[in-house]
Amino acid sequence: MRCTAANILLFAAWIVAICPLQTIRAQTQANPPPATQTVVVDVRAPIHPFPHYWERMFGSGRAILSLRDSYRRDLRTVKAATGFEYIRFHAILNDEVGLYDEDAGGNAVYNFSYIDQIYDGLLENGVRPFIELSFMPKKLAAADVVQSFWYRPIVSPPKDWTKWEDLVSHFAQHLVDRYGIEEVSHWYFEVWNEPNLDFWAGEPKEDTYYHLYDVTARALKGVNVRLRVGGPATAAAAWVDRFIQHAADNRIPIDFVSTHVYGNDSAKDVIGTDETIPRTQMVCRAARKVHDQVKASPRSDLPIIWSEYNASYKNETAVTDSVFMGPWIADTIRQCDGLADIMAYWTFSDVFEEQGVIKQPFYGGFGLIAENNIPKPSLNAFKLLHRLGENRISVDTDSAIVTRRLDGTLVAAVWNLYLPEEMDGQEKNVTIVFKGLTGHHRALLYRLDSAHGSVTAAYDKLGRPPYPKPIELEQLRHAADLQAPEPQALKHGEITIVLPPQGLALLEIR
């Protein structure tokens, strides 16, 4: 084309016309329009009971840590947020607690000083023990076999089974004498921790664990038949069906079954298949498996207690310290409804030393609260979900729970769940339509996302200091607080909520 003045003007005009279109197309590709969803809630639909099984119990660091002020401060924070009833921890029998010793003649010597301080402290804060009977006192161990945790628990069977039985009997009798059977009958006694892993050195593992369980259960019932005992406390939902059959065949006392699962456990270990089960489904796939095993067993009436669960058994900052936990916890509650009596989140606090002394506040710890009483998004998720009602209304969606409280308040949780590794998450516009809603109502909206109830941005702004100064700690705690609810307009029974990726919202219709 010949380069004349007229041609140059025509070319310039074409550029001006086409560039805005190209810019719009590029922006559209980079920022796709939000996804949309409509959730229809028939407020007259049938309801079913919705007990808050996910907030009845929490796990925690080992027993001796419960004597620390930081532990008890975090316990009170979680108690205020959830009203939880029970706490579980490892190592009540470890030598650092001082319960068991032997004199020069090999006779047992018992010391209940720290035992009493531990359980007194829990009860004074309105929480009962879920007693995991572990690990082996050194002078009672058949061998010096230790597990790899920083505090080196001894995982050997006892050298003398009669002495183990006496230890269990003296321990239980002391608790009954001190607190009364009316109180202790509400507690739980769980025999050992994850005997299918390296927490139990008996060989063969399963058979020797059953012997441990049998001796322990009979010793507890020998003190008082009202004491509740159960197991097998396995990792990856293992052994439950065979454990129940063993107890039934041998007439061994059993009052509940307990087991564990984590969102990143493998399908091979949990389900026995080679499929890939995402982190968002693993926990409740395991819950379904165990539920069905119990219902098909000779003891179909047994309560099912998941005495440990979480989205990860590793230290993954992008998981347990992040806003991902909000929708993950909500969706887990939705999926596991009706499959368990208690599900105990592992753990309530990062006052926790399995890998050693904490080196920085946010390292992917299991706790709801980071070091120095800094709330994580997971704590705020439990705070919000505590507001759900006692009855659940069925809705046709996998990203909402709708409930009614006893006072008639409607409470809906909605979320926008993306895995941490999914970098292309979109906003979602969720319209909730309440059919059959009459009269005047007030709507309040609570939010949990990267801009609401998350400390991550504030910690990044400080430069992620490993040892925040007191003034910085106050800034972090303030940033982690849930904000006040936002009044919402409810027009013709409808409301639209914009959810960012990994966002959780809770709506109250009063």
Active site residues: 194, 308
d(CA 82, CA 80): 6
Pairing mode, strands 486-488 and 443-448 = antiparallel
Strand, helix or coil for residue 475: helix
d(CA 72, CA 349): 10
Contacts of 308 by beta carbon, 8 Å cutoff, 6+ apart: 59, 88, 260, 261, 262, 344, 346
> Which tokens sit at 174?
């002391």
**Which residues are bridge partners to 17 per DSSP?**
none
Q: Which of 176, 231, 453, 203 is nearest to 325 (CA)?
A: 453
What are the DSSP E strand ranges found in 77-196? 86-89, 100-102, 108-110, 128-133, 188-191
Cβ 370 vs Cβ 22: under 8 Å? no
Cβ 390 vs Cβ 379: under 8 Å? no
Positive or negative, the Cα torsion across 476, 482, 488, 492? positive
Strand, helix or coil for residue 216: helix
Strand, helix or coil for residue 172: helix
Please tell me the number of Cα atoms within 13 Å of 169 on its side-chain side: 12
Cβ 101 vs Cβ 109: under 8 Å? yes
Strand, helix or coil for residue 21: helix
d(CA 83, CA 67): 21
Q: What is the dihedral of CA 53, 61, 147, 95, to 10 degrees?
A: -120
Pairing mode, strands 108-110 and 100-102 = antiparallel
Phi, psi of 66 (to 5 degrees): -70, -10
Length of the chain: 510
